Each structure stands twice: as structure tokens, then as C-alpha cells.
Structure 1
């Protein structure tokens, strides 16, 4: 190998430095832009600069008592509810905003009117919507005036109280009767479907619910359109569902009256399942239509009674078509929960929903062990005409899913119990904080399940280069309802998940990352973090200023392109000349190969780019270098792999 003189090396390095500044027209000057702060992140008494709830942090609470009846002939749900609303905020409240999400299913709803002509995933029926009657609201206390003053606008309803709800603990009650037609097409989140033995009702967004009043926005009243999901407070729920005698109901939370709705044999099987790591049938495939022997009543109606505390929502499913099985979930503390699955005969089989409970059990156990213990008594997977949708302790997944597809959707929807059910983010505005974080933790669940039975290629970040460089791409922080439909998957799910993979596996390291992420989850469990709370908490926990990462990956369309311009002998050592041809700086992990076959890894910090887009690294070694490569494991989504490796034509054999 022919060596080059030192003077020639200096001339080459100077040329490379100038070239990177002169010809890289899309390359930003890092010292001026990439490392500046992303925004105002100073702490307050409500949310600290260290990313924790402050000493004056508060959030309001809504507790629900609901009693409804399912009319299978007319496909309607009707009933009543009473909400006890506690105002923990520092200000009096003259009114309360509620969501009426079934009003999305009308011809003139904002969601309908903003659905593209060609349709989308979020299409819905047009013959639905709430009928509200007998609304009453009053502050809790003796002889307080009752108000029925309210108005409805699209999917929102404002209820005005006759006198303000006192600050710092004042309470009001809001009660009403309601009714609506259950949609067949419920925006791929709920609805009904006819199968061989009857109809499956997947019931979500099924009751009027209080909007969140917080210290950031006040009342959060963004309409329910489609891609934006939900932002809900926490409270205690008690709900009763009256259905035809032959129906089976599964729901979020604890079934508190099994003796009234299950036969003695079914109760025995339920107890057996609670102690079994293998699935136990509550209703076998052969028993689906044998209503005479497998229902405690033979006619009329039956009421199923559920309770769930400290939750942001509840959902349920009802049908006479269900196979039902269950198994024990083992939690790190020694507590137990129960995985359950209900599905029609079309979905039966070991290649399909016969493994659903196995999947749900494994998923919940994994996330509980790796991140935060599962808090709910049940984890129910429901086969329905929904491709995948999550609610606390209960999922709806497609009754047609099988094999790897069923594992993937089941694991993803159960993962949502951590984001946004436990960590109560605002999905309607910040989809990446639930979909992205969930997609990230799904990757490790795939690795853990059954010794990698199913594959997940998320860590192979360069598979996504086409999407990361698409000219129509949009930043991660774009509100979901404002994203172009083609960008939802990348901006809300995959790009934030890829960013977390890069942080964990490349920038921070698994040990530091995991401690920080677990701390974030436990700190904001059952609370409402904003994006800045996550950024602040994570930085404080890992001890790094990551403004450059948040800004480049989440707030912009910046790309990564780190290059090796050359490797030159420098006395007894070498100089590795590096350039940043992208818009985003990154630490540089180098793998050096020596003539004797030994390989060594060295990492250069992101601060090498503080003063510009070119850096010369002095590689001190007494061995002969034969190759240098950036990011040998290809974790960093560098858009140009061709310039990641040396040797180059500067050397001659």
C-alpha cells in the first residue's frame, strides 16, 4: 500500500473540509441550527424542568355509573349515566365539556365532511348519533340548583352548571339518558358484524364522556374526526349491561356478578383458568349454540355488572356467538391477572384465535416485566370487524386474523395498555406518544415471544429509507388529523419507534435508556404528560442534552448521512476524515479492522459536529488499519450506505 506525504494529507483534509461546506448545498450549518434548543421548556409549579409533575400538579377526575340495554332487534344501545366530576384545578368551572363521539356517525358531522371522497380507514355509518334526554347538572351540596342548560356541537356537548364548581376539590354531578343506533361501520374502532351464529357487538365510545381540562390547554375540545384518537381523564367506573339471555359479555375491568350470568360449570372453569398457564375453555366450540345448557337463564334478558377503578375508559363486547377461553397472567409482584379471548367459530383453530389467549398472556407478561406492571384484572381479546383497536384491559382485533398477523395485532393492542392507558397522553394531538412508543416496545416483545417465533424488522432501520426520504413526508409531531393519510403509518408509528430504537441501541445504550424510560412510565402513570415532559424527563434521567435529536428526528424531516471521506496515515497513527452530508448530526460509531484481523469499535460523540460538518479524528494505534466502517450493525438510518465504508481510491495497492 503506497503512503502519502504529510503535506499532501493536510492539503487533502483542507480540501475535504472546504468541499463539504461549498458543495453540500442542503447541508445545514450544525453550529447555527442543529444544536439550538427546540423550544421553551422551562419548568413551572405544575410541570418541572426535570420532566416530573410539579408540587402544584393537578388533574380532574370523572367517576361514572352507567346502566345500558342492548336491543339486538334494532341494533340500539340505550340507558342512563351519572357522572361525578371533581374539579381539582385552581379555578372555578362554570361549565363542563363532554364528548359525544357517536355523533361522528351522522351525514353532517365534521368527521364525515372531512372524509375524502375515495374513503379512508375512518369511514363510518351515517344513520347514528346520540339522542340525549333528561339532562341534569348540579354542584354537589345541600339545596343546590339543578340545571339542564346544554348545547351540542358536533361530537362535543357543553353543560352549564347553575353555579360554578368550586376549585380545589369541588364536585358536580351530571346525569342523562341516552340512546343511539350502533353503527355497522364504526371507523375501524367499534361497531357490529354478522357472523355465522349471530352478531358481534364491539362497543366503544359508547357513552358520553367528560373531556380533559388541564393546565396546558384548559378544556380539550378537538372534534373527533378520524385519525386523532382520544384524550381522557381518569376515574372509577361501575357499569351494567343488559343483553338477551343468550349473549356473553366481556368488558374492561372486573365482572362482579358471575353467579348471575354464568352457569356453575362456567364459574368452575373460570376458577380453573385463574390458576392455569394453559388456556381453559369457559365455553367450548361445541357449546356455542347450546344455550339451553350453557346459560343460567333460558329466556328474557340478563344484566352483566362490571367495575374498573382508576381508568380512563371502558369498553365491552356482546354476542351469542362466542367461544370463550382464558388463562392466568403472572405478574412480577406475584399478583395475577387473567388473559381472555372471545371469538366466533369462523375464527377457531390453532392457526388462528385458538392461540389468542397465549398471545395476550405472553404480551402482558413481557411488558410487565420489562417496563411497568400491568394494573388491570383482565386482558381481553375480542374477535370483531375491527382491524385493531385498544381500550383499557380490552382489545378488538379482526376475527379474520391468523398466525403472525394475529400475534402482531394482539401484541400491539395490548401494548397500548402502557401507552396511552397507563401513561395518559393526548392521542388526539400527539399520536407519536402512544402509537410510536407502543410500536417501539412491540419490537422487544416480538424478540421475547416463544424464542422469536415471529419476526420484526424494526431494528433494521435502513429498510425504511424510502419513507424517510419521501418528498411528501411530514414531521412526527404533526397532529394526526392533519397528516396526509399516506403518512400516518410512518409519522405516527414507525418513525418515532425507529427514533427510540436508535436512541436505545446507538445513542444512549440499553441500560441507561431502559432506566430512563421506566422512570418516565412510572412518573407519569395515570397522569397527562406533554411532549416537553417526556423530553425533559428523559434528558434528566440519562444526563444528556438531546435537543439535537428531538429537533432533527421529531420536529423536522431531517435525514442522516454521515460519510467517511478518507483514512490517512499520520505519523505512527491515522486520521479518519468524516463529513455530515445530512441535515441531522449523530454520534459516530466506528469499527476499525486491522491487518491481523482484529476489529475494534470506537464511538465519537455528537459534539464533533458543534463547529461544522467536517471532522478529522485522530486514530491512535500501533497497528496497520485496513478498513473503517461507520455503524457496522446498521442501526442508524443513514440514507447513503455507499459512503459509510473505507478504503477509497486515495490508496493504491
Structure 2
């Protein structure tokens, strides 16, 4: 009789659940849209459905030869650039487009005219802009053209004979000059310090835009928040400066013996073998030019070379303290971490640890994700709060402690995204800032066994933003995004999304394999969002449409709940609800009255047919409490309904 009673009670409970499921049929269509395809990710001969570059994938190449001179009186940079452009595309090109980013610093630039009158981070000086002369374009049988159009931050250069497809080449050369802005949109500029001036030079030469299989020419104007999308190539550049200046830049310094004194050469060799920071120029030697410079008047030319890079940057000053240490890289390789900073930034609580931070960040990313390709990594203290270029970072000269670690770690992480994996930052900021924020989280955890806090997994800190009416989707273009939202849409939310994939949805082993596969597949190439999505899904074996759509392209939220735990003969019927727009697997910690506990994970597919689910948890123990997401990894917007009994936290 007792067994029959239990059977009848279980049958009645299941009937009520089925009835409620029928009443919720409207959820079915809604959830099918949630789980269905939301964008075309089908493959073609250029980009496969599995996320790999296709058998006919192509990209073009741009090699640069540049010579410039710095005039410290007028604060101008002038010189000549010659670009050799290789057209690997299947179509002929009668012109090429160049980025002319210094033209942003003029009163009538689009960036200036779209900056709020009260200003913002991307405000800049307005007395700059390129002066261009002697433009020459050659292709085919060496036919020469001088025809070009400059429109805002873009320049269109025409050829008399189109550059032929499948390997044709052309060259463009010109003389250029501009006044270096003091305030360079928080990306470059100049800073007066006690001992001289620091010039942080970026976006300093005309450079070719990307021509790809997705949009053809990618030539959005340089407005502010949108960063860069550039072709790969080799760089050979020379910088002529006053004799008392030190120059640090992207690539290998190929004439070291000509620009460094015997003392500096010896210290350089010492630093290249040292795990600890070695001073090349210490605080007391900043003005001791006879000790640290090879000459005592005139100018001197520093010569750098860099292979397979998408950009270059450099800094120069007569006020630099300069130190360095050996970086230990995978495959037995080594490199030199360096820091250049003024006397105002010195000290172990500040930039005295910069090289230590640089070395630790590069070594972690190199070992964990993909080999570091550059022989140097240089951190420069200047008036830029934080900006990245291949092998060079510009960070604020006032930064110290955890702030200096954070910005150093972040800017050098960008060598993987987007310097190695060459995504389109101007359109998809989340593919470089977000991915980089994600890897920064783990490098911070690893640094000195957690000397500084890593908090990206504390996603419930983001709930107030995620429930704010002014929030925007991650996929919003950076130049369109409200600047108050950019920190979330470009950095924290996409970074936290990858943490959720790794720690909650997929698991570290499978996710790490897929994430590294994405880097390996698209190193020195140009991935699109679909290439990332397809790679992660194909390598992990998970259909994640529901996550990509909800997290990256919409503004919905997560709200899982447990509403009941009804005891039946074989255990408990656990009543769960999905009250949010983004479904999630349900991880529950079930604690029994004997103080033992176990974790139970239900797949996200329980929500495919509706937003109510009942799970039969088989146990002969008495349940004391149930907590959904016990590690609080999910930014669940209503934590009060994640527990059973409802008054659990009040006990």
C-alpha cells in the first residue's frame, strides 16, 4: 500500500509538471530562436565552416622602408616612406588605400567634428596633420603615377597600370612631415619631464589599409575609439635624433655598436643573460652623456628591422632611465625585456619593476598560448595611459604598483591579440580587447602566486551595468558605442564571457585546446567573428549559438532559479526555471543533512523546449540545501532565487 501511495504521488507530480509544460508552449518558439542559427557561418574556399583558413585563403602584404628625422625645436617628424605592396588577391587593383592617421589632429577632421564639445579620452591637439610631397606610384612595367586623393585620414593612390592579381606588386613612395601632438588621443604624444622631453611615436607613417575577402578595402576613418586593422609585412626603418637621445622601438636594433657606448654595450650583454633587471642607464646617469652615448654633438641614426609585423612604434628621449632583463621563451629562445622611463617614474614601488612585469607577462603568454615572435618587449613611460604596438607598449609615467602591473600586463597581452592574431580592431574591438582581457586574468593569477588580484571571474560585479537601460551589445562598433559603455562592451563583458566558457560551460581542457587552435590557425592572418565561433564549436564539439547570440549580439541577462525541491520515493523532484534571456547549464551544489555534498550539472539543452524544467535527483539522503552556481561565476541578476530553501541565507 505504501509503495502504491508513493507511485500515485510521483505520478501526480509529473502530471502537474507536464500540464505546466503544456501551458508554457509559448516558450518553445522563443527558445528555438534562442538556440537556432543567428548569423551565416557557412564556409567557403577562403574560410571554412570548421573555422580554419580555406584552401584559397589569401591576404596581401605591405613592406616598408622608412627614414625620419626628429626636430626637437619644432617638435616635428619628417622623412620618406617607400611601400612595396604585394597583391595576392584574385583581382587587379588600380589603386590602394592608405591610413593617414595624423590627419586626425586637425580642426576639420571627422574625428574632431564627432568629438563632444566637452571632450573625451580621444580628444587631441588640432595643429597637426600630414604635409605630403613627391608622391610616386609604380606598377607593371614601371609606369609611374603621381595621382592621389587625401580625404580626412585616408589617402587613395592611383596606378597608371593596375597591380596584377595572384602575386603582382607595386610601390608607393612619398615624403611626409607633421607636428607631433602633445596630446595624441591617449595613443601617442610628447611629455615634458625634468630632464627633457619624451616622444612616444605611433601612427607616425602612412600605412596601407587591409584589402580582404570580406569587404574589399577596409578604410573606415580614424575617429577615436576604433583602433587599427593592418596588413603584415617587413619593416626597415631609421630614426635620426639628437646625439643625446635614446631610441627604443619595435624590432631589432641592427646598428647597436654605432649608437651605444662601450659601457651600454657591455650592460646590454649582461642584461641579455640576467634573470634580474640590469640598468643600462641608471637614475644618476641620465645626463652623463659621455658615459652612455658614443658621440657628444650633432645627430645620430638608430636603425631597426622587424619581420612579419603589422605595425611599428618607437619612443625617443634625452631623459630616459633604461633597464632590461632576459626573457625565457619557448623552444629555447630568449629575448630582452626593456623599460625606458624618466626620473619621475623611478623606484621599486613604480617603474623600477616595469621590466619584471614585462618579462613575467611575455613569458606567461608565450608559454600558455603561442610563441612570442619578437626579440624584444619594451615598456615606455609617457603621457599615454596605455596603448599597445608590436613589441612596444606606452604606459602612464605615474603608474605604480598594481596599476602598473595591470596596464603592462594588458598592453603586452595585445601582442597576441591583435598583433599575432590580426583581427579588425576598428570594427570588432572585443576580438582584441576582450580576448586580451581574458588572458590577462590568468597571467595575473600566475604572477608571483597572485600578488595582485585577478577579478574577471567575479562577474556579479557587472550586474548593475547589465541591468542598466543604457547598456549596449558587445558587437556594437567601438566608434558607435557610448564611451561610458566601452569598458564593458569591448573589455570586461567579452573577457568574462570567455571565462564563463572555460570555467562554467565547457571546462578548461576542451576550451584551452580550442582557444589555442584559434590562435594557431589565425596567427598572422585576418579572422572574422565567424572564424572564432566556428573554431571554438568545432574543436570543443559544442553548439554555442545560444551563447554567441545572447552574450555577444544582444543585451539579455542570466537568471536561473530553483523554486522547489519535493521529496518523492526515489529522491527529490527539483523544479528549475530560466527567467532570463540567456539560457545556461545548471550547476548545483547539493548539501545533505549529514554535511556531505555533491555537484550536479544539467546541460543547457534542458531549456530547448521551454523555461521550466524538473529534474529527478536520486538519493536516499535528506537534502539540507541547494545552491545554483556555487562559485558565483555567472552574472546572475537575481541571486536570491538561486538557493533552496528560499530562506537559506537567513538561517
CA contact (8 A) 1:16 1:565 kept: no
Number of the residue aligned with 1:612: 610
SS in 1 for 2:244: coil
Number of the residue aligned with 2:74: 74
Q: How does 1:198-597 map to 2 (within 5 A)?
A: 198-597=196-595
How many Å separate the matches in 1 of 2:646 and 2:92?
Answer: 70
CA contact (8 A) 1:340 1:357 kept: yes
How many Å separate the matches in 1 of 2:565 and 2:277?
Answer: 60
CA contact (8 A) 1:80 1:177 kept: yes
How many Å separate the matches in 2 of 1:264 and 1:155?
Answer: 43
SS in 2 for 1:96: strand
SS in 2 for 1:34: helix
CA contact (8 A) 2:24 2:610 kept: no
CA contact (8 A) 2:559 2:636 kept: yes
CA contact (8 A) 1:20 1:579 kept: no
Per-residue CA shift, 1:559-594, capped at 9, x if unaligned? 000110101112222111101000111111111111
Per-residue CA shift, 1:259-304, capped at 9, x if unaligned? 1100011001001111000011111111101113321110000000
Per-residue CA shift, 1:145-182, capped at 9, x if unaligned? 10000010000000000100000000001000000000
How many Å separate the matches in 2 of 1:510 and 1:343?
Answer: 39
Q: How does 1:629-640 map to 2 (within 5 A)?
A: 629-640=627-638
After superposing the two structures, state which structure 1 stretch, 285-294 or 231-240, moved more: 285-294
Residues 1:68 and 1:263: Cα distance change in structure 2 (over 3 Å): same
Name stretches of at least 5 consecutive residues in structure 2 with no aligned partner: 1-5
Determine whether 1:36 maps to 2:36.
yes
TM-score (norm 2): 0.97
Number of the residue aligned with 2:112: 112
Per-residue CA shift, 1:99-129, capped at 9, x if unaligned? 1000000000000000011111000110000
SS in 2 for 1:162: strand
CA contact (8 A) 2:21 2:610 kept: no
After superposing the two structures, state which structure 1 stretch, 55-64 or 36-45, moved more: 36-45
CA contact (8 A) 2:591 2:623 kept: yes
Shift of 1:605: 0.5
Determine whether 1:185 maps to 2:183.
yes
- RMSD between aligned alpha carbons? 1.7
Q: How does 1:162-173 map to 2 (within 5 A)?
A: 162-173=160-171
Per-residue CA shift, 1:405-459, capped at 9, x if unaligned? 0000000000000000000000000000000000000000110001100002111
Per-residue CA shift, 1:279-334, capped at 9, x if unaligned? 11111111101113321110000000000000000000000000000000001211
SS in 2 for 1:551: helix
Number of the residue aligned with 1:645: 643
Shift of 1:31: 2.8
Residues 1:108 and 1:134: Cα distance change in structure 2 (over 3 Å): same
Determine whether 1:96 maps to 2:88.
no
TM-score (norm 1): 0.96
SS in 2 for 1:83: strand
Shift of 1:18: 7.4
CA contact (8 A) 2:28 2:608 kept: no
Which segments of structure 1 move beyond 3 Å, counting only runs of 4 or more? 3-22, 27-30
CA contact (8 A) 1:20 1:581 kept: no
How many Å separate the matches in 1 of 2:193 and 2:636?
Answer: 48
How many Å separate the matches in 2 of 1:331 and 1:256?
Answer: 21
CA contact (8 A) 2:140 2:162 kept: no
SS in 1 for 2:292: coil
CA contact (8 A) 1:183 1:192 kept: yes
Name stretches of at least 5 consecutive residues in structure 1 with no aligned partner: none
Residues 1:20 and 1:446: Cα distance change in structure 2 (over 3 Å): farther
CA contact (8 A) 2:559 2:580 kept: yes
How many Å separate the matches in 1 of 2:25 and 2:467?
Answer: 22
How many Å separate the matches in 1 of 2:22 and 2:325?
Answer: 66
How many Å separate the matches in 1 of 2:20 and 2:282?
Answer: 72
Q: How does 1:57-72 map to 2 (within 5 A)?
A: 57-72=57-72
How many Å separate the matches in 2 of 1:601 and 1:20?
Answer: 29
Number of the residue aligned with 2:3: none
Shift of 1:620: 1.2
Shift of 1:32: 3.0
How many Å separate the matches in 1 of 2:428 and 2:388?
Answer: 17
CA contact (8 A) 1:30 1:609 kept: no
How many Å separate the matches in 1 of 2:395 and 2:316?
Answer: 14
How many Å separate the matches in 2 of 1:572 and 1:199?
Answer: 77
How many Å separate the matches in 2 of 1:490 and 1:334?
Answer: 38
Query: Number of residues paired by the alignment?
Result: 643
Number of the residue aligned with 1:55: 55
CA contact (8 A) 1:9 1:568 kept: no
How many Å separate the matches in 2 of 1:108 and 1:270?
Answer: 46
